[in-house]
Structure 1
Amino acid sequence: MINYLRHMAVFVKVVDEGAFRAAARELGVAPSRVSETVSDLEQYLGVTLFYRTTRKLFLTNEGQRFYAHVVNITKSAELGVNELNSRTQDLIGELKVSLPAFLASSALSSAIAEFAHQYPKVSLHINYTDTKVDILKEGLDMCIRAGWLQDSSMMSRKLGESRRFLVAGKAYVDARPLAKHPSDLADWDWVHFSMRNTTTEFVSKKGDVASVTEKTRIKLNSAGALLHFVEQNLGLTILPEHLVTQGIKSGELVHVLPQWEIKPLGIYALWPDASRRENLTLQLVRFLAERDLS
């Protein structure tokens, strides 16, 4: 069996990447070499590990069971390498991470870039999307979530908070009476983020609480698109502070009801309890948690 340990590592890579070509690119070999290696492993085991189509690979039942065992071999090997290298802070391996798209130009992304500089032997595959992803289904090692977590079977750690501002385009605000209370927004148009509730709670500096339900005809699934549409003077929206700071400074955007605050977003790291790359994942989580992400 020892002669097939490399074959098993290649098999795990194919499963993780979802294709022979993608696995070959990560391994730095020809796709035909990867295919031959998997075929040799199947011949050795006497089973079919993949259903192969012209468009996609699917694990057979035998492949699923085999992967559940051999992935632990590669995980243990990676943990061993990183443990030996821990004294020199030299981490090795790869991480697949998902972040909300609105954090693409945030302090959090800058911290991940800092991590990449500090650990050049760690490969990072980062997916930015404002759509909620399934960590296990997508084969992710970790994802960053914005909001306030409910009960989760995942491991988690809070990394920080992101302030949110109610904003609108200057021309839109100038065409309406000055709003001093959330109730004054009853007839204002909203550009709605589809991942968020339509009712928002505001808290004044005196501690008064008021809620507003959006009147909206435009719904978007991208924070970047929200910003663009609001800049076109189509209504109000709520966005993270780092996305609107420049627009407010330039006067293109107006911070509406600045004397009232909206609950900030909690920023959390989530990862599976039995992460395939537990050591690397925890190293990245700790690295991020130790930094000022405000």
Structure 2
Amino acid sequence: MIDHLRHIAIFARVVDLGSFRAAAKDIRLAPSRVSEIVTDLEDFVGATLLNRTTRKIALTNEGRKFYAHAVEMVRSAEGGLDELNALSLEPAGFLRILAPAFMSSSSLATAMGDFTRRHTHVDLSVSFTDLPVDLLRDGFDLNVRVGWLDDSSMMSRKLGEIERVLVSGVDYAKARPDPQHPRDLESWDWIRYAQRSNTMEFNAGSGRTVKVSGRSRLQVDSIDALLHYTRLNFGVTVLPKYLVDQGLKAGEFKKHLEDWSLAPLGIYAVWPDQSRRENLTVHFVRFLAEQFGQTGRAENARG
């Protein structure tokens, strides 16, 4: 039975990650060995737990029932490890993290790497993507969100803010009079970001605000694409300042309306209230927050 406890944990990981190959990479075994382990477990329990096809796996009815107990077993064991970690000066364990694709070369990504350098018993798997992902269903421990938090039962902590800047390509700007007011941009070509509202709100130093909805024939769903089309002089857009600074240094971008500002975007860490690696997650979030000069305790996203 003791051997099959390990089999059960591996079965749960296969389901969490959605394939034998992904689970094998995660736990550092050959995919064929992971498949054999699940087959051995099925023989032991006397039921088929997974339907296998060439492209994906799916839980059977028996597998769905068994998986709920497997998750509970793993969660209980990891909870015990968390309690021991809380008593230890050196954190240890594995975290799966979700973050926006454009942050893959940011100071936040650097801080994540620094955490593993500082804590040699911690392994991180970071997925930088703009695709919609379900934190719990897809087996992630932590989500880094940029923008404003929705009402949620999850825990959250603000890590910092991203300053935003209005820019265009240098050649695009040369072909037009320099805008003096946000309304001047309504006739310009905008490169839209699909995850952002079509209306931009500009703030003057006096507290006055102006909303602008310019025309757009080009919409993209990644910040990298915004950068690319801005460099190619397709129009004006809003980008994170640290990316704009790179373009300005290279002589590719021109900033506009520098007397006006755009509200910064908050960076938040969000994680389940009942995290499987609660103490390690909190330790990791605290480290990230310290890197951005933030203080305070973790708070509920509704707070």
Q: How does 1:190-209 map to 2 (within 5 A)?
A: 190-209=190-209
Is contact 1:205–1:260 with CA below 8 Å preserved after alignment?
Answer: yes
Is contact 2:94–2:122 with CA below 8 Å preserved after alignment?
Answer: yes
TM-score by length of 1: 0.92
SS for the counterpart of 1:186 is: helix
Which amino acid is the alignment partner of residue 183 of structure 2? S
1:61/1:120 CA distance change after superposition, 3 Å? farther
SS for the counterpart of 2:187 is: coil
Which portions of structure 1, spanning 4 or more consecutive aligned residues, are displaced by more than 4 angstroms?
A: 85-88
Cα distance between partner residues in 2 of 1:247 and 1:33:
48
Unpaired runs of 5+ residues, structure 1, are none
1:210 matched to which residue of 2?
A: 210
Q: How does 1:15-30 map to 2 (within 5 A)?
A: 15-30=15-30
Is contact 1:99–1:144 with CA below 8 Å preserved after alignment?
Answer: yes
2:231 matched to which residue of 1?
A: 231
Tell me the CA shift for residue 87 of structure 1: 4.8
SS for the counterpart of 1:65 is: helix
Residues 1:117 and 2:117 are matched in the alignment: yes
SS for the counterpart of 1:151 is: coil
Query: How many pairs were matched up?
Result: 294
Is contact 2:82–2:277 with CA below 8 Å preserved after alignment?
Answer: no
1:55 matched to which residue of 2?
A: 55
Which amino acid is the alignment partner of residue 143 of structure 1? N
1:178/1:25 CA distance change after superposition, 3 Å? closer
Tell me the CA shift for residue 20 of structure 1: 2.0
Residues 1:95 and 2:95 are matched in the alignment: yes
Residues 1:292 and 2:255 are matched in the alignment: no
Residues 1:4 and 2:4 are matched in the alignment: yes
Tell me the CA shift for residue 67 of structure 1: 2.0
Tell me the CA shift for residue 228 of structure 1: 1.4
1:279 matched to which residue of 2?
A: 279
Pick which of 170-179 and 62-71 moved more.
62-71
Tell me the CA shift for residue 88 of structure 1: 4.5
TM-score by length of 2: 0.90
Which amino acid is the alignment partner of residue 192 of structure 1? R
1:136 matched to which residue of 2?
A: 136
Which amino acid is the alignment partner of residue 22 of structure 1? A
Tell me the CA shift for residue 3 of structure 1: 4.4
Tell me the CA shift for residue 161 of structure 1: 0.8
Pick which of 141-150 and 8-17 moved more.
8-17
1:170 matched to which residue of 2?
A: 170
User: Which whole-Å deviations, capped at 9, do the CAs of 1:226-273 have from their partners, x for residues lacking one?
Assistant: 011111111100011111112224432111101100011111111222
1:130/1:87 CA distance change after superposition, 3 Å? same
Is contact 1:167–1:239 with CA below 8 Å preserved after alignment?
Answer: yes
Which amino acid is the alignment partner of residue 51 of structure 1? N
